[in-house]
């Protein structure tokens, strides 16, 4: 990569909204995001999004694919890799102490995970009042001791767990005695459980800046429609919670059956991203 191309790319990432867009697309992996999803998640206007996407496109950091009436955007991994190489090569020749930890960390990500008796999994959402709590309960039961689940929120609901979520979990014989909303800072503090996996289950949490997690866990976005935002009568609102539960249970079932001991981390990451694209609700509850 030449200096002009690198300068153009760095300029494109120097503005906060463009950096948020780019981070979101990198986290979304191969599936990417449609323009409407990006605008809704980052709460920006369509014309603002269009202007910033054009700058990222011109810098070669983003690709777009038209799908009918929609346009899907993905991060350009080739250009991103070249940009990182340009930066690292310039630094590593004279300051190897800066680059060595990054190189060592990257090499570890190509290895197969160590076989463990128990894997710790954290589910994140903004309010931690419904989806992430349901995912925590499902994983703790479906994981059958192999997975230990937790949940938290970036802005935990001051009203605590949503009553419909608690009611649904009780009706399905989940243990709700210790269910509570929690701030995700609890899991980034000293003494917190070492996390192996972190999954965001709502779009806003995926777009926000996450704390630095102990143990560098693998992560993926498993977005599920927000049942708390459902409109209609009481029956329709409860149905939204049941649908969210079934979608989460389906994804968690796929995840818990993965051969974690044999997959290298690149292959496992692809599997985790693909699970997040699973739209089937799963079996009735």
Catalytic residue list: 125, 202, 210
Q: How many residues does the chain have?
A: 285
């Amino acid at each position: 990569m030449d200096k002009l191309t690198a300068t153009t790319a760095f300029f494109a990432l120097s503005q906060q909204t463009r950096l948020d867009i780019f981070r979101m697309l990198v986290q979304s992996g191969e599936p990417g995001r449609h323009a409407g999803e990006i605008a809704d998640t980052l709460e920006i206007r369509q014309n603002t999004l269009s202007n910033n996407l054009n700058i990222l496109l011109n810098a070669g950091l983003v690709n777009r694919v038209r799908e009918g009436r929609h346009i899907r955007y993905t991060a350009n991994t080739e250009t991103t890799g070249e940009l990182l190489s340009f930066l690292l090569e310039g630094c590593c020749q004279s300051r190897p102490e800066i680059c060595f930890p990054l190189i060592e960390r990257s090499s570890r990500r190509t290895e197969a995970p160590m076989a463990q008796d128990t894997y710790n999994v954290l589910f994140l959402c903004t309010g931690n009042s419904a989806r992430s709590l349901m995912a925590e309960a499902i994983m703790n039961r479906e994981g059958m001791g192999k997975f230990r689940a937790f949940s938290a929120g970036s802005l935990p609901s001051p009203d605590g767990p949503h009553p419909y979520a608690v009611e649904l979990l009780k009706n399905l014989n989940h243990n709700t005695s210790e269910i509570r909303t929690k701030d995700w800072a609890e899991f980034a503090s000293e003494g917190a459980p070492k996390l192996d996996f972190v999954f965001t289950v709502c779009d806003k949490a995926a777009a926000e800046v996450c704390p630095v997690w102990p143990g560098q866990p693998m992560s993926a976005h498993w977005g599920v429609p927000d049942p708390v935002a459902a409109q209609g009568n009481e029956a329709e609102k409860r149905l939204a919670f049941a649908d969210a539960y079934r979608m989460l249970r389906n994804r968690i079932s796929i995840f818990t059956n993965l051969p974690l001991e044999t997959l290298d981390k690149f292959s496992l990451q692809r599997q985790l991203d693909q699970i997040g694209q699973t739209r089937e609700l799963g079996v009735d509850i």
